Amino acid sequence: MLAQNKSFFAFVVFLQVALLFTIFFEVSLARQVLGFVYLTFVPGFAILTLMRSKFGGLETALFIVGISIAFLMGTGFLLNLLGPLLGISEPLSLDFVLCVTVVFVLICLLLGRRGYHKSINLSVGRKEITVFGFVLGVILFLSILGVLLVSVSSNFGRPVLFIMLIAIAALVVLAASSRKLVSPSLYPIILFVVSLALLFHVSFFSSKIFGGDIFGEYALFRETVNSLHWDSSAAFNYNAMLSVTILPTIYSVVLGLDGVWLFKIVYPLIFALVPLGLYQFFKYRVHPRIAFFSVFFFISNFVFFTELVQLARQMIGELFYILLLITLFSDDVKGSAKWILFSMFSFGLIVSHYALAYIFFGFISIVWIISYLRRCRSNVTAGMVILFGVLAFSWFIYVSSAATFAHFINALDSVRSGLFTEFFNPQSRSSQVLQAVGVSGISTFWHTIGRFIFYVTEGLIVIGILTMLFRKRRSFFSDAFNVFVFCNIFLLGMCIVLPNFAGTFNVSRFYHVTLFFLAPLCILGGIYVLQFLSRSKFKEKYLSLIIVLVVLVPFFFFQTGFVYELAKEESSSLPLSAYRFNTLQLAQSGVITEPEVAGARWLSKFAGLNMTVYEDINSGSLFSYVGLPTGVGLSALSQDIVLPSDCYVYFRAYNLETRQVFTYYGLNVAFNVTQISPDLDTMNILYSSSSCEIYEVP
C-alpha cells in the first residue's frame, strides 16, 4: 500500500512539473492537454483523498471533476478578494493561480496519502479500451471532420455528418439488440463520446462564438482576463456567475488558450460529463439499459447540443445540478462526506447558474416540506435546505449589486402582473409553449411528422407518470424521487398555465431541465404501452429494442435536423443546413460573419472617445465580441429617436439586405431604415463592404 501511495504522489508531482515545463517553454498543445487534465482532475482528486470515502468508479470520476471546478472557482474568488488587500493588482495571474493550486494539491496529497486507494476505484478492461478507441476514433472524428468541412464546402461536410449521425443511431440500436456486442460496462463511454460528438458538431460550426447569451458571457470573460481581476460590483446578471468570469480566466491563463476556443472545446468537454452523471443517477431507479436509453433520449433533444452550447454558465451549472442529485440519492455518499460534497456542489451551482439554483432550491424545499408533513424519511434534510438557501440568497444579494436577485424579483412581478391581465391570452405564452401543446408550428409534412414524434415522447412520459402514480397510490409522495418528479411536472405546468412564466428561462430550457427526472419515464411509459398492447410478457430487451427503433431513433434524426435536411425543409441545424440560410436567418441563429466582425473591429479601433455607436439591437453581440474601447457607448436604434451629432451608425448584412432595423431580440419587430432621422443621405459613410456599413452623423 505504501508503494501505491508513493506512485500516486509521484505521478501528480510529475504532472505538475510537466505542466510547468510546457508553460515555461510555451509548448503548444502539450500545455493545453496537460493544463486541462491537471485543472480538471488533480485538485478534486487531492481533496477527495482527504475524505477517505469509497464511491463507485463513475461516481468517483464525476466527483473529482465537480470538486476540481468548485475548487477553481472558490480559490479564484478568494484570490480576487484577498489580492487587492495584499497589494496584488492582478490576483488571477498565472503565477498566483498556479502557486496556490500546486501548493494546495501537495498539502492535500500529503495529508490524505492513506486515502489514495480508497478514493479511487476505477477499472476499465481491455475490451472497454478497445471499443472506446474505436468509438472515439470514428464517431468523434467524423463529427469534427464533418463540421470543419462544412465551413469549406457543405457538399463535402454534410455527407460526413450524415454518416456520423447514422453511426450514432446504429450504435444505439446495436446496444438495444445485443448485450454481448455492447456490454453495459461500455454504456458510460458510449454516452460520453456520443454527447461530445453532438456538442462538437455544433460548437465547431464557426471559428467565432455564436448564439445569444454567450456573447455577454464572453464579454465578461474578456474584462476579467484582460485585467486579471474580477469586478464583483458590476451590476449585471451574468457578472455574479463565476462560471463565466473567474473559471474561464483560470483555464485561459493556465492553458494559454483563447477564450473563443475555451468556450468551444473545454466547456463542451466538461458538459459531456452531465450525461454520465444522469446515467449514474438513473441507475439508482431503473435498470442500466433503461438508464442508457433514457440518457440517449436526453441528449437527442436539440436543446442539449444547440442551445446549451451557447450558454457557458448553464453547461457548468448543470454539472453541479446532477452532482447534487447524485449526492442526495447515492447510497455510497453518507456521513460527513455527504455534507462536504453537498456544500461544495451547492456553492458550485449557486455561482454557476442563478436560474438552476432557484429551481433546485424550490425543489428541495418542497421535498423537505412534503416529507415533514407526511412524517417520513427523506433524502433532503432541513439543514440542507437552510444551507443552500443562505448561500444562494447571500450570494445573489451581496454580489454584483444584487442584479441577480433584482432580476429574480422582476421575473416574479412579470408573472404576477400577467396572471391578472393576460391569463386568457394565448399570446402571453411563448411560441414554443403553443407548439408544445399543439396550437402552432410549421405545417409541412415532415415537420408535422417530427412534431408528432415529439408529442409521442411527451405522451409516453405522461403514461409513465400515471402508471407510477396508480401503482404507488398513497405511498407515491413517500419517495423523495417521486416528489422531485411531481415538482418537475408542476414546473412544466406553470409554463403552460402562467402567462410570461416560460419567458423567464425559456420553455425549451425548462423542458430540458425537467428531463433530468422525466427522461426515464419516457422509456418506462413505452414499455408499459407495449406490455398492455401485447398482453403477454416479452423480455424487456425486446420491448426496449422496439422503443429504440420506433421512437428514439426517429426522434434523434428529427431533432438533429437529419430528416429536414434530406427533405430540404426548414431546419434549425446550422452544421447541416446553414448553407441554405440567408443573412437574416443566420442572424436569427446568432451567427456573426467575418466581414461584420471586421467592420466592428475597425470601428472599435478608430472610434473617437466619448462617442456613441447606434446599431440594431441584435448587433450588440458583435461589439461584445470585439470589445469597444472605454468611453465609447453603445445604444440601440429606435424609430422615435433623433440621432445626435458626432455619433456612429452601424449596419449588419441583414440590415442592408432587408433594409430594416430590428428593435427587439428575436428579429421580429422592425422599422425601415428610411425612417431613421436624420436621413442616411445626409450622413458620412466611413466604412462599406458587402456585409457591413458604418455611418457618421455630422
> Within a domain: residue 268?
no
For 549, residues 6+ apart whose C-beta sits below 8 A from its C-beta are 173, 176
293 or 441, higher pLDDT = 293
Sign of the Cα torsion 558, 561, 564, 566 reads: negative
Q: Coil, helix or strand for 300?
A: helix
**Of the ranges 169-173, 267-271, 390-394, 613-617, which one carries the lowest mean pLDDT score?**
613-617
| SS3 state at 644 | coil
Q: Could you tell me if residue 26 is left (phi over 0), alpha (psi between -120 and 50 degrees) or otherwise beta?
A: left
| DSSP string over 136-203 | IIIIIHHHHHHHHHHHH-HHHHHHHHHHHHHHHHHHHHHHHH-TTTS-GGGHHHHHHHHHHHHHHHHH
48 lies in a domain?
Answer: yes
- Say if residue 426's pLDDT is above 60: no
644-679 as b/e: b if 16+ CB within 10 A: eeebbbbbbbbbbebebbbbeeebeebeebeebeee
Q: Is 465 exposed, middle or buried (0-12, 13-18, 19+ CB in 10 A)?
A: buried
Would you say 652 and 665 are in contact if contact means Cβ atoms under 8 Å apart?
A: no
3-state helix, strand, coil in the chain (%, to 5): 70, 5, 25
Average pLDDT across the chain, whole number: 87
Cβ–Cβ under 8 Å, residues 254 and 303: no
Distance CA 380, CA 365 (A): 8
- At 422, the pLDDT band (50, 70, 90 cuts) reads low
Strands 670-672 and 660-662: what pairing?
antiparallel
Start-to-end Cα distance in the chain: 79
**Of the candidates 96, 119, 142, which is a domain's last residue?**
119
If residue 670 lies in a helix (H) or strand (E), which one and from where to where? Answer: strand 670-672
Residues 425 and 499: beta-carbon distance below 8 Å: yes
Find out whether 224 and 245 touch, Cβ atoms under 8 Å. Answer: yes
Average pLDDT over residues 146-154: 88
Q: Is 440's pLDDT higher than 60?
A: no
Chain segment 238-248, per-residue pLDDT in tens: 899 999 999 99
Confidence of residue 441 (pLDDT cuts 50, 70, 90): low
Q: Which of 39, 460, 7 is nearest to 247 (CA)?
A: 39
Local structure of 303: helix, strand or coil? helix
The length of the chain in residues reads 698
Per DSSP, helices labelled H in 535-665 are 540-547, 553-559, 562-566, 574-577, 583-588, 594-606, 620-626, 653-658
Mean pLDDT value of segment 650-666:
86
Which residues, including other chains, have CB under 8 Å from residue 562's CB and lie 6 or more apart? 162, 165, 556, 576
What pLDDT is attached to residue 122?
45
Q: Report which DSSP code applies to 648.
A: E
Whether 637 and 649 have beta carbons less than 8 Å apart is answered as yes
Among residues 87, 119, 151, the one where a domain terminates is: 119
Structural domain contains residue 371: no
Residue 605 domain boundaries: 586-697
Domain count, the chain: 2
**534 part of a folded domain:** no
- % of the chain beyond a pLDDT of 90: 57
pLDDT tens per residue across span 187-212: 998 999 999 999 999 999 999 999 88
Report the pLDDT value the prediction gives residue 395, as an integer from 0 to 100.
Answer: 95
What is residue 487's predicted lDDT score, i.e. its pLDDT?
Answer: 93
The residue out of 119, 148, 164 marking a domain boundary is: 119
Does residue 414 sit within a domain?
Answer: no
Mean pLDDT of 511-525: 95
Cβ 392 vs Cβ 364: under 8 Å: no
Instruction: State the cell numbers at 693.
Output: 456599413
The owner of cell 479564484 is: 76
Name the residue with cell 471499443: 131
User: Greatest CA span in the chain, whole angstroms?
Assistant: 82
Beta carbons of 183 and 271 less than 8 angstroms apart: no
The answer to whether residue 16 sits within a structural domain is yes
Read off the pLDDT of each residue in 446-463 and give the average, rounded to a whole number. Answer: 93
Residue 1 vs residues 115, 121, 373: alpha-carbon distances, Å = 10, 14, 49
Amino acid, single-letter form, for residue 524: L
pLDDT confidence tier of residue 560, bands split at 50, 70 and 90? very high
Query: Is residue 458 assigned to a domain?
Result: no
Q: Is residue 125 part of a domain?
A: no
pLDDT score of 630: 72
